[in-house]
Amino acid sequence: MKYNEDMRFTHPVLGPMTSDYKDAVFELNEIIIEEKRPTWEIDLSGFLYIKQPDIERLISDGEAGCYLYISCGETYYSSYVGINPMNWWVTIPPGLVRGRVLIRPVVNLLHNNVQIPDVNVNDEFGRNISLPHGKPIAIGAASSFNAGYKKLIPMESIFKLIKSKDTKSGSFEINYSGQSVDIYVGVELHKIISDLRVNKITRDILLSSVYLPCIVELLVEMNDDEFSEMRWFQVLKAKCESHGINYKKKSDFLKNAQILLNEPVALLKQSLKGINNYGD
């Protein structure tokens, strides 16, 4: 079964997407994600927090079991793994996931005709609730992480600086129809930018003056999938997901661009200080 936030059931289900239980909590806590290079095998571990005595009792009595539903839209991978809620540990073998991966806790019944205590259940379900084997009685919110090497690729690597006699002096243009984002600049500006790029003291100036407006425009273009097969799109998508940025959202482009570039304007002060001290 595939799970999402819009699912509804004819029986009570504990979780953040319902109000079936009163004063209850069901969520993943203290999640640790370790990607092992060079194999990219992934170890996941954490703690499943359950605050609902009836559900806890069904689990401790062996009437219900805890599971982790793992899914990856990019590779179509899905897995349903039994876990110990107090201290769970799951390993995803190399090569099975890439990009955004969702993990969601679930509690399923292990036997037929299980009586669900109804004292703390919403009145709309009535009394004397009996459910068959396999029915979910708790579904938590999905947590996510970004798997693979693309999020580690330097942002600067998606850009290519190109000298152009047709570009107006003092300005630049970009073309993102290919695998890289080509930045076209005039001859004089090309030399200035090239000098800034190779100098570790002044390199950060490029983040706010050139790369920041480029990233803003790229985020706007990422609202649809026209360029989704391009390398620059894949790298930027991975970085968005690793920062928890919804690149499909049609707002906050400037804010998100600054997050992706690690607040580049704040780095200007350090760069200017380096310029003043350069050669001392």
Neighbours of 42 (CB within 10 A): 21
Checking if the pLDDT of 277 tops 60, the result is no
Which residue has better confidence, 196 or 29?
Answer: 29
Say whether both 112 and 158 belong to one domain: no
Checking if the pLDDT of 279 tops 70, the result is no
Task: Give the chain's largest Cα–Cα span.
Answer: 83
Coil, strand or helix at 129? strand
**Is residue 6 assigned to a domain?**
no
**Per-residue model confidence (pLDDT) at position 270:** 67
For residue 184, list its beta bridge partners: 162, 173
Say whether both 54 and 144 belong to one domain: yes
Say whether both 106 and 204 belong to one domain: no
Is residue 38 reached through a cis peptide bond, with omega within 30 degrees of 0 on the bond before it? yes
**Per-residue model confidence (pLDDT) at position 1:** 63
Say whether both 122 and 156 belong to one domain: no
Can you give the residue range of the structural domain that contains 227? Answer: 152-277
Say whether both 243 and 218 belong to one domain: yes
CA atoms within 13 A on the CB side of 95: 1
Q: Which of 186, 104, 183 is nearest to 145 (CA)?
A: 104
Average pLDDT of the chain is 86
Which residue has better confidence, 264 or 136?
Answer: 136
Say whether both 269 and 177 belong to one domain: yes
**Per-residue model confidence (pLDDT) at position 271:** 66
Amino acid 19 reads S
Checking if the pLDDT of 115 tops 50, the result is yes
Q: For 27, phi and psi rounded to 5 degrees? A: -160, 155
Neighbours of 17 (CB within 10 A): 15
**Is residue 64 assigned to a domain?**
yes
Coil, strand or helix at 217? helix
**Is residue 4 assigned to a domain?**
no
Say whether both 200 and 157 belong to one domain: yes
**Per-residue model confidence (pLDDT) at position 82:** 95
Say whether both 110 and 211 belong to one domain: no
Instruction: Mean pLDDT check: name the lowest of 95-104, 141-150, 207-216.
Output: 141-150
Q: What is the CATH number of the domain that holds 127?
A: 2.60.40.10
Query: Which of 148, 171, 202 is the last residue in one of the domains?
Result: 148
Distance CA 227, CA 233 (A): 6
Query: Which of 107, 127, 148 is the last residue in one of the domains?
Result: 148
For the chain, give the percent of residues with pLDDT over 90. Answer: 43
Say whether both 229 and 246 belong to one domain: yes
Note whether 146 and 100 are within 8 A (CB): yes
Name the band, by pLDDT with cuts 50, 70 and 90, for residue 123. confident
* Residue carrying the six token digits 């947590």: 143
Domain count, the chain: 2
For residue 89, list its beta bridge partners: 45
Name the band, by pLDDT with cuts 50, 70 and 90, for residue 152. low
**Is residue 232 assigned to a domain?**
yes
